[in-house]
């Protein structure tokens, strides 16, 4: 071994067992050179020295099992616990890599997000907070935290597939690439990311029941449902579709993300207030350190809308408070009754019928007096997914009860003024009702939003009164319209301005549609203008 004079001058060498003891001040450099030489890929095949060396030993052992290499390999393979040792080493390296990747994800989150991220105890979590707290960015990191372990499948669900791709797909890809987490296949059109470790992330929409059913048949280690305050059929999605698919993973998680709902009676409100086993998280944008001058932002929004920070809109959307969007309610300050006055004598009763065999069927009985122009809702019915024959019999039941009510009020009444107007989307069922002796006709449908506005005004000014919840008519408990009045709201645009369109994605009214059909007939009988048409104009059509 040749050693330079300069090295000999500055360093003392000691021979130990015919070897050389290396001074401590150069050991680290020497080890670094050896490590790089042994493990760094080289040559055209880009193999390291260690790779080539091990492959050569295996080749020699296979060609001659009695050679030194063959005998050494046999001894190692037959040694007790070899496989366990190899598995242990693999697990150790995987755990090290997982912990490192998890740390890199964690350090990009702020405290409240970290609390959700680090919670591995609760398998069901609900995060309901204000806007701009980074829910979707957190979702991308939660998804990746799950799939950095091999052979996992996570799914992110938004209201629509396009929303899922636009909001979460790109951030997830960007973060995975930042981590150096190998993506084997990217497909934005399919909403799929497949990773080299066999794990996968899917991006889906839940626009209707058919979309939800597309999630069946999979096994999920993590499910994140975003915008839960406006999700369609959330309970069906959770109970029927999602929960069974997470049973195969002992550590699977279901995470709900959203803001407080604009209306009462939503599924997320029920989960939040009544369901056990869900861990709740809630905070507002004031806790987000990445947003600067929050007070200035809120002041600007309030000035633009002409409101204060106490307004329900600000409290709900920017402070995460559970406050109804009363400004957007279609039916405001409507009037109810406990009992119908004894001196109310109806001249007519019209049953409005709305068909919705994939949703709810509804019937509303509207009694009114053409002369006094006073009206009362006397009966209501609403039920999900019933067959046409059953629906016809239910209409007949309410029709007979309406005739009985009218006769009890005036035994000289004209019972032919008890009529049925039904949704014209199901004309065959209307014809079938008529063939079975029910006086059914299809309804008028002119300018629905104008007619709804007029109907809301009649309810506000007491021209039409609806029963208080819990009222009884013919052994039926009423309150259907009261419930729908409190949940039917107008949409808001991207600037949060109210627009003249029902927000069907948040809640689709059925009894209100039936109520509207009956009201149009009432206005026609009274000679009132309605829905952009006058009674005289309709008579001439």
Q: What is the dihedral of CA 260, 262, 268, 270, to 10 degrees?
A: 110
Question: What confidence tens digit (pLDDT) does each residue in 440-494 have?
Answer: 999 888 889 999 999 999 999 999 999 999 999 988 999 999 999 999 999 988 7
What pLDDT is attached to residue 13?
45
Burial class of 245 by CB neighbour count within 10 A (0 to 12, 13 to 18, 19+): buried
pTM tops 0.85: no
Instruction: Look at residue 375 in the predicted model and tell me its pLDDT.
Output: 98
Contact 255, 222 (CB under 8 A): yes
Q: Which two tokens stand for residue 340?
A: 């119908």
Q: Taking 70 as the threshold, does the pLDDT of residue 535 lie above it?
A: no
Higher pLDDT, 359 or 62: 62
Is residue 200 predicted with pLDDT exceeding 80? yes
Confidence of residue 541 (pLDDT cuts 50, 70, 90): low
Per-residue model confidence (pLDDT) at position 35: 74
| DSSP 8-state class, residue 327 | G
Mean pLDDT of 379-387: 91
Residue-wise pLDDT tens digits, 75-108: 776 666 666 665 555 544 444 577 888 888 999 9
The H or E element that residue 430 is part of is helix 427-435
At residue 157, the 3 state secondary structure works out as: strand
> Three-class SS string for 470-538?
CCEECCEECCHHHHHHCCCEEEECCCCCEEEEECCCCCCCCHHHHHHHHHHHHHHHHCCCECCECHHHH
Kindly indicate whether the domain formed by 336-539 is annotated with CATH number 3.30.420.280.
Answer: yes
Please give the mean pLDDT across all residues of the chain.
87
Q: How far apart are alpha carbons 467 and 378 in whole angstroms?
A: 7
Query: Rounded CA gap, 455 and 469, in Å?
Result: 20
Which residues partner with 19 through β-bridges? Answer: 16
pLDDT confidence of residue 25? 61
Residues in the chain: 541
Contact 281, 112 (CB under 8 A): yes
**pLDDT score of 529 more than 70:** yes
Map tokens 């406006």 to a residue.
230
The CATH code of domain 103-287 reads 3.40.50.300
- The three-point CA angle 520-523-529 to 5° equals 100
List the domain boundaries for the chain.
24-78, 103-287, 294-324, 336-539
Kindly state the tokens that stand for 251.
């550590």
Distance of CA 342 to CAs 132, 335, 408, 474, Å? 55, 18, 11, 17
pLDDT tens string 239-294: 999 999 999 999 999 999 999 999 988 999 999 999 999 999 999 999 999 998 99
Cβ atoms within 10 Å of 255's Cβ, excluding its own:
26
pLDDT of 15 = 47
């Amino acid at each position: 071994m040749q050693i330079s004079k300069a090295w000999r001058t500055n360093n003392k060498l000691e021979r130990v067992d015919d070897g050389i003891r290396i001074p401590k001040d150069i050991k680290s450099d020497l080890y670094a050179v050896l490590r790089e030489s042994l493990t760094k890929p080289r040559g055209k095949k880009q193999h390291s020295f260690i790779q080539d060396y091990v492959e050569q030993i295996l080749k020699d052992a296979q060609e001659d099992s009695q050679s030194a290499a063959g005998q050494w390999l046999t001894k190692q393979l037959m040694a007790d616990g070899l496989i366990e040792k190899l598995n242990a080493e693999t697990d150790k390296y995987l755990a090290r890599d997982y912990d490192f990747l998890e740390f890199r994800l964690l350090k990009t989150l702020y405290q409240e997000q970290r609390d959700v991220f680090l919670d591995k105890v609760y398998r069901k979590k609900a995060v309901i907070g204000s806007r701009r707290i980074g829910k979707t960015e957190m979702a991308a990191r939660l998804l990746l935290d799950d799939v950095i372990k091999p052979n996992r499948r996570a799914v992110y669900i938004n209201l629509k597939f396009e929303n899922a791709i636009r909001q979460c797909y790109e951030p997830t890809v960007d973060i995975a690439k930042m981590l150096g987490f190998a993506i084997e296949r990217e497909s934005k059109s399919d909403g799929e990311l497949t990773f080299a470790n066999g794990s996968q992330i899917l991006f889906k929409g839940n626009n209707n029941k058919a979309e939800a059913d597309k999630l069946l048949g999979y096994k999920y280690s993590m499910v994140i449902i975003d915008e839960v305050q406006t999700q369609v059929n959330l309970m069906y999605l959770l109970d029927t579709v999602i929960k069974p698919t997470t049973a195969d993973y002992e550590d699977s998680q279901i995470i709900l993300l959203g803001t407080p709902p604009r209306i009462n009676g939503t599924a997320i409100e029920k989960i939040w207030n009544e369901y056990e086993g869900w861990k709740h998280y809630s905070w507002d944008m004031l806790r987000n350190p990445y947003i600067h001058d929050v007070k200035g932002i809120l002041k600007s929004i309030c000035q633009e809308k002409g409101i204060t920070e106490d307004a329900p809109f600000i409290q709900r959307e920017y402070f995460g408070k559970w406050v109804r969007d009363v400004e957007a309610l279609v039916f405001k300050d409507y009037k109810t009754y406990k009992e119908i006055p004894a001196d109310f004598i109806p001249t007519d009763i019209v049953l409005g019928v709305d068909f919705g065999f994939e949703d709810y069927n509804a019937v509303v009985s509207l009694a009114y007096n053409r002369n006094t122009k006073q009206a009362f809702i006397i009966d209501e019915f609403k039920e999900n997914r019933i067959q046409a024959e059953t629906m016809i019999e239910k209409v007949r039941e309410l029709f007979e009860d309406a005739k009985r009510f009218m006769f009890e009020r005036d035994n000289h009444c004209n019972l032919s003024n008890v009529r049925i107007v039904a949704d014209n989307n199901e004309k065959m069922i209307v014809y079938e009702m008529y063939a079975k002796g029910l006086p059914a006709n299809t309804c008028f449908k002119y300018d629905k939003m104008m007619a709804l506005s007029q109907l809301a005004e009649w309810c506000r000014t007491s021209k039409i009164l609806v029963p208080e919840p819990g009222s009884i008519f013919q052994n039926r408990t009423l309150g259907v319209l009261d419930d729908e009045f409190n949940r039917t709201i107008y949409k808001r645009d991207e600037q949060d301005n109210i627009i003249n369109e029902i927000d069907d994605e948040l809640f689709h009214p059925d009894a209100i549609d039936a109520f509207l059909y009956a009201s149009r007939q009432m206005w026609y009988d009274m000679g009132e203008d309605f829905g952009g048409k006058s009674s005289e104009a309709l008579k001439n059509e």
